[in-house]
Structure 1
Amino acid sequence: MKGEILYQKIAKTIAWQIKTGIWKPGDKLPSLRTISREYGTSLNTAIQAYYELEKEGFILASPKSGYFVNYKPLHLSAPTTTQPRIKYAAEENNDLISEVYRTIEDLSITRLSLGVPEDILLPIAKLNKELVRAMRSLPGSGTRYEDTQGSPKLRKYIARFTYNWNGLLSEDDIVTTSGASHAVSLALSATTQKGDTIAVESPVYFGLLQLANSMGLRVIELPTNPVTGVEPDALKKVLPQIKACILISNFSNPIGSCMPEEHKKAVVKMLADHHIPLIEDDLYGDVFFGNSRPSPCKAFDEEGLVLWCCSVSKTLAPGYRVGWIAPGKFKKEVLRQKNITLISTPPLNQETIANFMENDRYENHLRKLRQELHANSLHFVQSIIDYFPEETRIIHPQGGFMMWVELDKKVDTTKLYYQAMQQKISIAPGRMFTLQDQFNNCMRLSYGHQWTPILEERLKTLGEIIKKSM
């Protein structure tokens, strides 16, 4: 009994320190041995105290890394479910998109707008070694064309890696691509024709909107919940109008939503009943903060109508442009389209990634990346609480590295972009992620950076700019 009282006392003390801000989200807590020594108690009592804190949601255990503060204050409201007009629109904002990405190589700018992890979070030195190894092993040192379907070695490792969501894919089910956007492009080419209508989430990654418009496709944006993703009932209403559907089902860009498994099953069945293909962009599924990877919609595909698209652009090597698609029953047409537009994906890059996937190195890297990004997300949440206006709405991210921020209606985030750029801070205004006149008071922030005092200071500055603009 005495030991039980002591571990509860330790847990209450640390919980109070977390609540009062002595320990902030993302901070690493003292080790179990340190707690044991400081409180003059047994290691088992320290373990019990941390178990109690973990059970109450105050801390999070990271294997081989220790314990981190995971406290989620309740005084921030969540963004609302989006309500786009469920009809065709085409008000693309190319000028704004070009402006935001115009200075992409300017290292003096804090790029909260850029949707890729910072270099320091990536295993660049290890990739360089595998690149040299690939040059030595490939015919012609990687200068030759390869089969249109792509590297058999890479396709084999990709198929193996789908075990973590019970994917029943073989290397023959997969076609390699030059990134996920290329995979989606091939999928659209294989399933639609100019003039067809497709359905997407709202907001949605601007690159998908640009691609659809360039192909002469009509786009219907669907109401989307910031936690659970696209509303299945809204999708049901537009089924007679659409030829295909595109979803970022796991940790959507930009809103960060993750569809519950029951929604994924319902959407896959609903579309299959109407013989409508689902193009699934699953770029962020491997960057989860929970106990296990959320399954993609492809896991519930019984008809071959889900075209699963993915890449390592957001997790390992953005510039390598290595992606893939499992096109189901559309494989023949996808290969035909790839042969027309590309012939062959670069063998050298594919071999490098395949080499890196050997011996669990990719999984080990992902584990570290997830820990870093989760800690970053907690730091961002706390900074928004500390420095942004009280009316700010956000969702605590459960994966990925995008944060959707909804501000007061008085704030125009397009104007905010230009104001913030004067302080060398780049954001992604919400208007970029829709073809309609909406999300003008929203923005996407990326927390794919190494957390530093300078980064916190930039968030503080951004908060001050927002307050002045109201």
Structure 2
Amino acid sequence: MGVLYNQVADRLQALIKDGVYREGDRLPGVRVLSKQFGVSISTVLQAHQTLEARGYLQPRERSGYFVRLPAVDAPEPVMQRHRNRPVPVTAREMTLELCADAQKLMVPLATAIPHADYLPLRQIQQSTLWAARRGLETLDYAFPGKESFRRQIAQRMAAVGVQVTLDDVLVTNGAQEAIILGLRAVTQPGDIVAVESPSFPGILQALEVVGLRALEIPTHPSDGLSLEGLELALEQWPLKACVVVTNHSNPMGARMPDERKKQLVSMLAAAGVPLIEDDIYGDLYHTGERPRPAKAFDRADNVIYCSSFSKTISPGLRLGWMLPGRYMASARQQKYFSNLATSSIPQLAVAHFLEQGGYDRYLRSAREHYREATERMRAAVARSFPVGTAVSRPQGGFVLWVQLPEGVSGTRVYHRARAENINVAPGLMFSISDKFESCLRLNGGNPWTERIDQAIARLGALAHEELGQGG
């Protein structure tokens, strides 16, 4: 069905582009289009929603769908090239502000948290009830992780080209803990670690917890970490690790091509620098096949793989895992000393959900939801924001990186938006050296509503006002 309604949407879009339906025209009714294309009415309605997300249709209550040509597509942000030095990481207060209880009352465009409507709530509730009835199996310390859960992880890793056994898997409290354990396994306080720029704030926070210095490496919005920048850093600085989100990075949504992943793995192995790979968005690709992780190209056992189900099944489960490889002994020790084990019931519940095949069925619809949601938000930003605004084109995940025109302060837009109960993430959060003052990150992982539509329009108006005031 997903393929069919996309085909109908593509055919209608072609008719609009060819001028058969002009801007302002009302499309024929759903029953007419159902007969015209030989599909069900529900398929036509899904095609309409897809075209609305792409910016080609506008619904009018009790009147139908009308053609609206999308705004001129916004370009991608440019990769910012800077000569950087290692810097100690300190937390930004605004990072904590975005997670405060007060933000739950705001329009949720800041935190990269999936909306409850896009999560498999009913299925995971059923699996949790099943797990809770397992008796003594739920009461022990599940260290290094429940066998059933680690078996499912090993099977899923094999499907993306990574051959591991159950004993290679260490279960963690989310990917954040996995990254921290990986860092502690390969570094000492004061060491230098290479990170993407812009970088996910959680990674910067992990470096701060371990007492490390960050060296920011320029990152392309489509291809990911600059290998040329990393090569220069390896020549100039005694790097002890490199942390990269290889698939659908946060905040840019970049997916590193396989060839560059191979080069990244080879370059770091030759330098003796461990790669800590965060693949938390790997399952949320929008089209095509599941991208392989860099770990699939690891022949030197130099990649520490980290992931979780926080972006797919539920952030509240806090259920992640890592493949520490030759650093397993140190990672296990750090895990045991810090919190003994990860809770048993979530592991049993998710293992049951995976065994029943529910996860893959859910992912098929979730990917389509996120693709449409980010396309719709991207089109709305292009319509509402000033000329010169650039917006990322993520191939997966659900966040958008917005680069405002020169002279427009993303931080000022952030503060003014919060005063109007619109929560966005300012660019300063994604760097330790104030590089992205003119940027914002938006969460596209929400069902489209009039409230969100109005919030994007208001953000655009604020950006226009800031531009008119000269920043």
TM-score clears 0.5: yes
In the alignment, is residue 89 of structure 1 matched against residue 87 of structure 2?
yes
In the alignment, is residue 204 of structure 1 matched against residue 199 of structure 2?
yes
Contact 2:249–2:281 under 8 Å retained in 1: yes
- Find 2:260's aligned residue among 260, 263, 266: 263
Unaligned runs of 5+ in 1: 1-7, 44-49, 60-68
Q: Structure 1 residues 130, 82: closer, same or farther in 2, change over 3 A?
A: same
What is the match of residue 283 of structure 2?
A: 286
Q: Structure 1 residues 385, 145: closer, same or farther in 2, change over 3 A?
A: same
Contact 1:90–1:436 under 8 Å retained in 2: no
Contact 2:89–2:207 under 8 Å retained in 1: no
Q: Residues 285-304 of structure 1 correspond to what in structure 2 (within 5 A)?
A: 285-304=282-301
Q: Structure 1 residues 336, 18: closer, same or farther in 2, change over 3 A?
A: farther
- Find 2:77's aligned residue among 76, 79, 100: 79
What is the match of residue 121 of structure 1?
A: 118
User: Which letter does structure 2 place at the counterpart of 1:192?
Assistant: T
In the alignment, is residue 98 of structure 1 matched against residue 100 of structure 2?
no
User: Which letter does structure 1 place at the counterpart of 2:370?
Assistant: L
Deviation at 1:84, TM superposition (A): 3.3
CA RMSD of aligned residues (A): 3.0
In the alignment, is residue 176 of structure 1 matched against residue 171 of structure 2?
yes
In the alignment, is residue 195 of structure 1 matched against residue 200 of structure 2?
no
Contact 1:18–1:58 under 8 Å retained in 2: no
Contact 2:89–2:208 under 8 Å retained in 1: no
Q: C-alpha offsets along residues 332-390 of structure 1, whole Å, 9 cap, x if unaligned? A: 11111111111111001111111111222101111111010101011101111211111
* Structure-1 separation of matches of 2:414 and 2:219: 24
Contact 1:174–1:325 under 8 Å retained in 2: yes
Deviation at 1:14, TM superposition (A): 3.9
Q: C-alpha offsets along residues 186-243 of structure 1, whole Å, 9 cap, x if unaligned? A: 1001111112111000000112112212322111000111111111111111225201
In the alignment, is residue 453 of structure 1 matched against residue 450 of structure 2?
yes
Q: Structure 1 residues 295, 73: closer, same or farther in 2, change over 3 A?
A: farther
Contact 1:177–1:323 under 8 Å retained in 2: yes
Contact 2:387–2:405 under 8 Å retained in 1: no
Contact 2:253–2:393 under 8 Å retained in 1: no
* Structure-2 separation of matches of 1:202 and 1:330: 26
Q: Any idea what SS the aligned residue of 1:324 has?
A: strand
Q: Structure 1 residues 10, 458: closer, same or farther in 2, change over 3 A?
A: closer
- Find 1:109's aligned residue among 106, 118, 137: 106
- Find 1:167's aligned residue among 159, 162, 165: 162
Deviation at 1:94, TM superposition (A): 1.6
What is the match of residue 62 of structure 2?
A: none
**Paired positions, count:** 435
User: Which letter does structure 2 place at the counterpart of 1:266?
Assistant: Q
Q: C-alpha offsets along residues 384-442 of structure 1, whole Å, 9 cap, x if unaligned? A: 12111111101222101110000012221222111101221100000001111210000
Q: Any idea what SS the aligned residue of 1:219 has?
A: strand
Q: Any idea what SS the aligned residue of 1:466 has?
A: helix
* Structure-2 separation of matches of 1:224 and 1:42: 44
Q: Any idea what SS the aligned residue of 1:101 has?
A: coil
Q: Any idea what SS the aligned residue of 2:266 has?
A: helix
What is the match of residue 145 of structure 1?
A: 141
Q: C-alpha offsets along residues 95-134 of structure 1, whole Å, 9 cap, x if unaligned? A: 2212222236x54311100111011111212211211111
Q: Any idea what SS the aligned residue of 2:283 has?
A: coil
Unaligned runs of 5+ in 2: 1-9, 41-46, 57-66
Q: Tell me which moved more, 84-93 or 298-307.
A: 84-93
- Find 1:134's aligned residue among 85, 106, 131: 131
Deviation at 1:10, TM superposition (A): 7.4
Contact 2:73–2:379 under 8 Å retained in 1: no
In the alignment, is residue 331 of structure 1 matched against residue 333 of structure 2?
no
Contact 2:115–2:447 under 8 Å retained in 1: yes
Q: Structure 1 residues 408, 129: closer, same or farther in 2, change over 3 A?
A: same
Q: Structure 1 residues 115, 17: closer, same or farther in 2, change over 3 A?
A: farther
* Structure-1 separation of matches of 2:22 and 2:464: 24
Q: Tell me which moved more, 193-202 or 12-21.
A: 12-21
Deviation at 1:11, TM superposition (A): 7.3
User: Which letter does structure 1 place at the counterpart of 2:141?
Assistant: Y
Deviation at 1:12, TM superposition (A): 4.5
Q: C-alpha offsets along residues 32-91 of structure 1, whole Å, 9 cap, x if unaligned? A: x9647237x999xxxxxx9xxx9xx999xxxxxxxxx9x987642210112233211236
Q: Structure 1 residues 163, 21: closer, same or farther in 2, change over 3 A?
A: farther
Contact 2:426–2:440 under 8 Å retained in 1: yes
What is the match of residue 319 of structure 1?
A: 316
Q: Structure 1 residues 237, 126: closer, same or farther in 2, change over 3 A?
A: same
In the alignment, is residue 439 of structure 1 matched against residue 436 of structure 2?
yes
Contact 2:301–2:326 under 8 Å retained in 1: yes
